[in-house]
Amino acid sequence: MKTIKGPALFLAQFAGDEAPFDSWDNITKWSADCGYKGVQVPSFVSSLIDLDKAAESKDYCDEFKGKATENGVEVTELSTHLQGQLVAVHPAYDEAFDGFAVPEVRGNPKARQEWAVDQVKKALSASKNMGITEMASFSGALAWPFMYPWPQRPAGLVEAAFDELAKRWHPILDHADDCGVDVCFEIHPGEDLHDGVTFEMFLERVGNHARCNMLYDPSHYVLQCLDYLDNIDIYKDRIKMFHVKDAEFNPTGRQGVYGGFQGWVDRAGRFRSLGDGQVDFGAVFSKMAANDFDGWAVVEWECCLKHPEDGAREGAQFVSDHIIRVTEKAFDDFAGGGTDDAMNRRMLGLEA
């Protein structure tokens, strides 16, 4: 068994224009002060990282990592959530997702997708330059508007969507293989890869590509009423990244999974700060340890009630308290009497 690394913090929800969230130097110092040992970097935040330079220059990456180390944290992974989303966008969401791209490709879906693919590949190259072996992303979505089967879906519609999704991602996964980096898709509503079945549909279409893996986040499974513990056992060989995020699901006679179009505070399903929701993290960390997950436990703070800075500081301690330093011996070794093949046969009543 292996011991999970952590705690680490995903910086996407904290990066901003004001100190200490406005620069790489400041935000890494703040993260360390909160109690974190690592940070997951949103590659789409230019105030934190120059992705073009990181993809081209190992010297830049060494300086980037060096500053983090100097300030007390490691760089755990890069994230391409927003760029990955733009690899596949259904026309219904063109305007909603346009803001994820640079201004010069907005309003031009073809140019935007080409830009997104280039961005994801650059992040993979940057990961290689940093010596990082995993990268987080979203899959994007072509079939999501048809998630609920009403009106009845035409035969072949979902298959065509997943065929196209795989066609777009396969070259990216091949580049990931060249870089020695796993692409870890966050299994998330709004993405075509939103549960285990859809991940398997995609995995089959990319030929069970070795670089096609999962980012495990139990909060999204709570809100789908999916068994988030069984999921760990099913996909233990594909789970390469871990977001530690809490959630609660409190259905009423008025609303359930779909939330009645309400804001986050008024939904039946809500994201919460660690320890304030319903995820059994004792069981989650036990499953991860038993299944030899040795990556980082990364806090992704999202809560509709608590202040983010409070959630961040509490989250660091929460993860530290849940990481299991795995044992190197069995608890009953003291009672062992030694054995050999002859003894085993005698104990079974067999001839020596």
Question: Which helix (H) or strand (E) segment is 21 a member of?
Answer: none
Task: Tell me how far apart the alpha carbons of residues 142 and 113 are, in angstroms, rounded to a whole number.
Answer: 13
pTM: 0.95
Q: Above 80 in pLDDT, residue 336?
A: no
Mean pLDDT along residues 203-225 = 98
Tokens of 190: 């709004």
Mean pLDDT along residues 212-223 = 98
The residues, any chain, with a CB within 8 Å of residue 352's CB and separated by 6 or more, are 342, 345, 346
Report pLDDT digits (tens) over 251-303: 999 999 999 999 999 999 999 999 999 999 999 999 999 999 999 999 999 99
- Which of 251-265, 301-315, 326-340 has the lowest average pLDDT? 326-340
Percentage of residues of the chain with pLDDT beyond 70: 98
Taking all residues of the chain, what is their mean pLDDT, rounded to a whole number? 96
Cβ–Cβ contacts within 10 Å for residue 276, how many? 18
Is residue 347 very low, low, confident or very high in pLDDT (cuts 50, 70, 90)? Answer: confident
Amino acid at site 328: E
- Phi-psi region at 180: left, alpha or beta (left = phi > 0; alpha = psi -120 to 50): left
Q: What are phi and psi of 172, to 5 degrees?
A: -70, -40
- Comparing 352 with 71, the larger pLDDT belongs to 71
98, 139, 198 from 88: Cα distances, Å: 12, 7, 15
Task: Tell me how far apart the alpha carbons of residues 146 and 89 are, in angstroms, rounded to a whole number.
Answer: 13
Cβ-in-10-Å burial (0-12, 13-18, 19+) of 327 comes to exposed
Task: Tell me how far apart the alpha carbons of residues 118 and 333 are, in angstroms, rounded to a whole number.
Answer: 54
- The pLDDT of residue 7 is 98
Task: Tell me how far apart the alpha carbons of residues 344 and 55 are, in angstroms, rounded to a whole number.
Answer: 58
- Comparing 118 with 338, the larger pLDDT belongs to 118
Which DSSP letter does residue 89 get?
B
Helical ranges in 223-307 per DSSP H: 228-234, 281-290
- Is there a contact between 24 and 51 (Cβ–Cβ < 8 Å)? no
C-alpha angle 167/56/104, rounded to 5°? 65
Q: What is the DSSP string of 235-265?
A: TTTTEEEEEE-EEEE---SS--TTGGG--GG
Report pLDDT digits (tens) over 151-199: 999 999 999 999 999 999 999 999 999 999 999 999 999 999 999 999 9
Mean pLDDT along residues 19-32 = 98
Question: Which helix (H) or strand (E) segment is 351 a member of?
Answer: none
Task: Tell me how far apart the alpha carbons of residues 331 and 184 are, in angstroms, rounded to a whole number.
Answer: 35
Domains of the chain listed by start with CATH number = 5-347 (3.20.20.150)
Residues written for the chain: 352
Q: Above 80 in pLDDT, residue 86?
A: yes
- The pLDDT of residue 296 is 98
Mean pLDDT along residues 208-224 = 98
- Which of 91-95, 225-229, 329-333 has the lowest average pLDDT? 329-333
Q: Above 90 in pLDDT, residue 127?
A: yes
SS3 79: strand
The residues, any chain, with a CB within 8 Å of residue 200's CB and separated by 6 or more, are none
Rg (CA), the chain: 22
Mean pLDDT along residues 101-114 = 98
Helical ranges in 99-192 per DSSP H: 109-130, 157-179
Task: Tell me how far apart the alpha carbons of residues 104 and 128 are, in angstroms, rounded to a whole number.
Answer: 28
Q: Which of 175, 174, 177, 173 is nearest to 185 (CA)?
A: 173
Q: What are phi and psi of 65, to 5 degrees?
A: -65, -40
- The pLDDT of residue 352 is 65
- Is there a contact between 183 and 150 (Cβ–Cβ < 8 Å)? no
Mean pLDDT along residues 10-27 = 98
Mean pLDDT along residues 322-341 = 79
Mean pLDDT along residues 119-146 = 98
- The pLDDT of residue 326 is 86
Report pLDDT digits (tens) over 161-174: 999 999 999 999 99
Longest dimension (CA), the chain: 81
- The pLDDT of residue 1 is 80
